[in-house]
Amino acid sequence: MITNPLWARLTLATLLPMTLVTLALSPIVTSHLEERVDGKRRSAESLLASEYALLLQGMNESFNQVLATAEYPLLQRFLSRQAAAQTPTWGLAAQGDWEQLAALFDTLLTHFGRYTHLAVIDPEGKEWVATSTVPLLPRPPVIDHGDTPAFRQAMTLQSRDLYVSPPRLGASGEESSPVTTVIDIATPIVDDQGERLGVLLFTLDWSRLTASLLHAREAGSGQALLVDAQGKWLLPDADGPGESFGQPLAARWGDAGTAMATRPQGTATLDEHLLAFRQHDLRTQHYRSQAGMILSEAETQPWRLGILVPRPSLWELLKEHPVQLLAIALVYLLSVAFGVFWVLSDHRLRGLRQRALTFSREARQYAGEVQDLYEHAPCGYHSLDSDGRVIKINRTELGWLGYRADEVIDRRFYRDFITPETRAAFDAAFQQVLGEGQEGSAECELLCRDGTRLPVAIQALPRLPRRASSTPAPRCSTSASARHWRRGWRNRHSPTRSPDWATAATWRAKRPWRLPAPSAAAHRCR
């Protein structure tokens, strides 16, 4: 009986090969995927290093430019003249200095393009010379910087020191994007005696300085992140500088903000991205500029710069190599096909085996029935070899003779059971069957163990079984004839009955031969 359902075995034959193939391919695929992840991580680190270098270079250039401009003798002379007493020639000299400064600022604004506003401020916070991308009034002073952090902090610094404000939103002067992100860079203007004459203020277009970071995002190589110490976003968006500027990083990249806050620099693996990051503090990491000291808002430092790159996935890895994907699919298909074929073949073999067992059981049952019919037939059956020795005899005839099977089989010759008076008839019939291969018959009397005689009618049939050498081995079988049995029955029950008749046995040469018992009644002699 087939105990396991076919559907369960088919399911197992499908899942098991797929599991084995997966276990075999997992180390290979995992190794390739780890190599890709390592490559992406190195790429993120390289991109971070290059973007950081570009950003630092741009800032240092701006710092050095502000410091160099603040040391121009023209600036010192112009501010000194504003504080001196007016003379008849004062107006013309001041006008000349003002025009020279305006021309200088126009040149810086035009050729460098990264500034939106340049101004010279006196110690009282009045803006005397200004050049901007935004149209101004014809003649300063028109703006008071006395309360601005840039002016107040710069007036406390020494020569060649800088104040850098955090990025903020300011006017760009461009019609397409009137608002942009800017930072203020301020330094004191000091004379030869070390007296502060005023402040030089450059307003830097922050979006131009961070353009390389935006290009990295637009090129698809990575996503640039720049936040201050409070986690506020410092990069302008491509769609609009004010869309997310100043918003918390956690609103966009919560996991990235947490990872960058844990240590100064390194890499981190997020759910779908790889992050490479580092910190930069303007107050201490300005070794590439000419500034002696840089002052900034303490709560905004240090800045954290990061590069996010997509984390390679298994599906992306397979899509890049369609041939490998096809080969893997083919391996899975072949393994499943083999498993299904094995299950179907085994199922068919089990069915055939079950049928064979059923046939064998039926054959054994039929053989047992035939054996029972042979042993308990109403006729006596026996088989003889070519010498006349008994090699098989049924229980019916053994009962007539009064012997056990172990006393007769392979021990006694059948003619020993024949009475001397009828032994000649038996020998003649035996030789006729054995020598001529014809049917023989004889009427004889058997000697029973108790000394009684049993008249029988013997019929013999020759049998020639086929051997491996195809040479026939002569053998014969005999059985009592029903005709003789019926005649004996009539004689037995008639007023002048003759002795009882019963069936005898069969004889054959060399190998036994079994015949089904004829349907006739057997009678024992008294």
pLDDT of residue 511: 32
- Whether residue 209 is predicted with pLDDT greater than 60 in this model: the reply is yes
Under DSSP, the state recorded for 511 is: S
Contact call for residues 260 and 250 (beta carbons, < 8 A): no
Q: Of residues 445 and 257, which shows the higher confidence score?
A: 445
On whether both 162 and 209 belong to a single domain, the answer is yes
- Whether residue 199 is predicted with pLDDT greater than 80 in this model: the reply is yes
On whether both 365 and 481 belong to a single domain, the answer is no
On whether both 299 and 344 belong to a single domain, the answer is no
On whether both 78 and 99 belong to a single domain, the answer is yes
- Determine the Cα–Cα distance for residues 57 and 64; give it in Å rounded to an integer: 10
pLDDT per position as a tens digit, 264-274:
888 888 888 88
- Whether residue 512 is predicted with pLDDT greater than 80 in this model: the reply is no
Contact call for residues 350 and 358 (beta carbons, < 8 A): no
- Whether residue 218 is predicted with pLDDT greater than 70 in this model: the reply is no
pLDDT per position as a tens digit, 415-461:
889 999 999 988 888 888 887 777 888 889 999 999 899 898 888 87
pLDDT of residue 237: 67
- Determine the Cα–Cα distance for residues 351 and 67; give it in Å rounded to an integer: 97
| Backbone torsions φ then ψ of 226, nearest 5 degrees | -145, 115
- Of 23, 11, 24, 22, the residue nearest 339 (C-alpha): 11
Q: What is the mean pLDDT of residues 377-390?
A: 86
pLDDT of residue 477: 45
* Number of structural domains in the chain: 3
- Flag whether 514 is in a domain: no
Neighbours of 272 (CB within 10 A): 10
Domain holding 311, by residue range, is: 40-319
pLDDT of residue 335: 87
On whether both 362 and 415 belong to a single domain, the answer is no
Structure token pair of residue 257? 């903000």
Under DSSP, the state recorded for 222 is: -
Q: Which amino acid is at 235?
A: L
Q: What is the mean pLDDT of residues 136-158?
A: 72
- Flag whether 224 is in a domain: yes
- Of 338, 318, 342, the residue nearest 328 (C-alpha): 318
Structure token pair of residue 9? 């075995």
pLDDT per position as a tens digit, 288-314:
777 888 888 888 889 888 888 888 887
Neighbours of 26 (CB within 10 A): 10
CA dist 121 to 91, 188, 201, 260, 502, Å? 19, 9, 8, 39, 152
- Flag whether 2 is in a domain: no
| Backbone torsions φ then ψ of 187, nearest 5 degrees | -145, 145
Helices first, then strands: H and E counts in the chain: 13, 17
Give the CATH number of the domain where residue 142 resides.
3.30.450.20
The pairing of beta strand 161-164 with beta strand 293-295? parallel
Neighbours of 273 (CB within 10 A): 19
pLDDT of residue 409: 92
Structure token pair of residue 412? 């006694």
- Flag whether 121 is in a domain: yes
Q: Of residues 131 and 493, which shows the higher confidence score?
A: 131
Q: Is the pTM of this model over 0.75?
A: no
- Determine the Cα–Cα distance for residues 283 and 148; give it in Å rounded to an integer: 20
Structure token pair of residue 250? 């956690």
On whether both 393 and 488 belong to a single domain, the answer is yes
pLDDT of residue 268: 87
- Determine the Cα–Cα distance for residues 491 and 497; give it in Å rounded to an integer: 4
**CB neighbour list of residue 32: distance below 8 Å, 6 or more residues apart:** 317
> Of 94-98, 216-220, 321-325, 366-370, which one has max mean pLDDT?
366-370
- Flag whether 420 is in a domain: yes
- Flag whether 145 is in a domain: yes
- Whether residue 466 is predicted with pLDDT greater than 80 in this model: the reply is no
Q: Strand ranges (DSSP E) for 122-254?
A: 127-132, 161-164, 168-171, 179-190, 196-205, 223-227
Give the helix ranges, DSSP H, for 71-192: 73-83, 90-112, 149-154
pLDDT of residue 55: 86
Q: What is the mean pLDDT of residues 367-390?
A: 87
Q: What is the mean pLDDT of residues 403-426?
A: 90
For the chain, the average pLDDT equals 76
- Determine the Cα–Cα distance for residues 24 and 5; give it in Å rounded to an integer: 29
Residue 292, phi-psi category: left (phi > 0), alpha (psi -120 to 50), beta (remainder): alpha
pLDDT of residue 486: 46
pLDDT per position as a tens digit, 338-348:
888 888 888 88
On whether both 396 and 366 belong to a single domain, the answer is no
Please give the full DSSP string across 248-286, using - where no structure is assigned: BTHHHHHHHHHHHTTSSEEEEE-SSEEEEEEEE-TTT--
238 pLDDT band, cuts 50/70/90, is: low
Q: What is the mean pLDDT of residues 232-238?
A: 77
The pairing of beta strand 502-503 with beta strand 453-463? parallel
| Backbone torsions φ then ψ of 209, nearest 5 degrees | -70, -30
pLDDT of residue 507: 37
At what angle are helices 6-70 and 322-375 packed, to 10 degrees? 160
On whether both 497 and 446 belong to a single domain, the answer is yes
- Of 394, 474, 480, 382, the residue nearest 433 (C-alpha): 474
On whether both 216 and 361 belong to a single domain, the answer is no
3 state DSSP class of 175: coil
pLDDT per position as a tens digit, 2-17:
456 888 888 888 888 8
41 pLDDT band, cuts 50/70/90, is: confident
Q: Return the percentage of the chain with pLDDT > 70, whole number.
A: 77
- Of 453, 383, 386, 385, the residue nearest 417 (C-alpha): 453
pLDDT per position as a tens digit, 76-116:
888 877 765 555 545 555 677 777 877 888 888 778 778 88
On whether both 231 and 136 belong to a single domain, the answer is yes
- Determine the Cα–Cα distance for residues 383 and 462; give it in Å rounded to an integer: 11
On whether both 408 and 304 belong to a single domain, the answer is no
- Whether residue 21 is predicted with pLDDT greater than 70 in this model: the reply is yes
- Whether residue 499 is predicted with pLDDT greater than 60 in this model: the reply is no
CA dist 490 to 23, 220, 486, 499, 503, Å? 88, 118, 6, 10, 15
On whether both 127 and 214 belong to a single domain, the answer is yes
Q: Of residues 213 and 62, which shows the higher confidence score?
A: 62
- Flag whether 112 is in a domain: yes
- Determine the Cα–Cα distance for residues 414 and 525; give it in Å rounded to an integer: 18
Please give the full DSSP string across 323-360, using - where no structure is assigned: HHHHHHHHHHHHHHHHHHHHHHHHHHHHHHHHHHHHHH
- Flag whether 174 is in a domain: yes
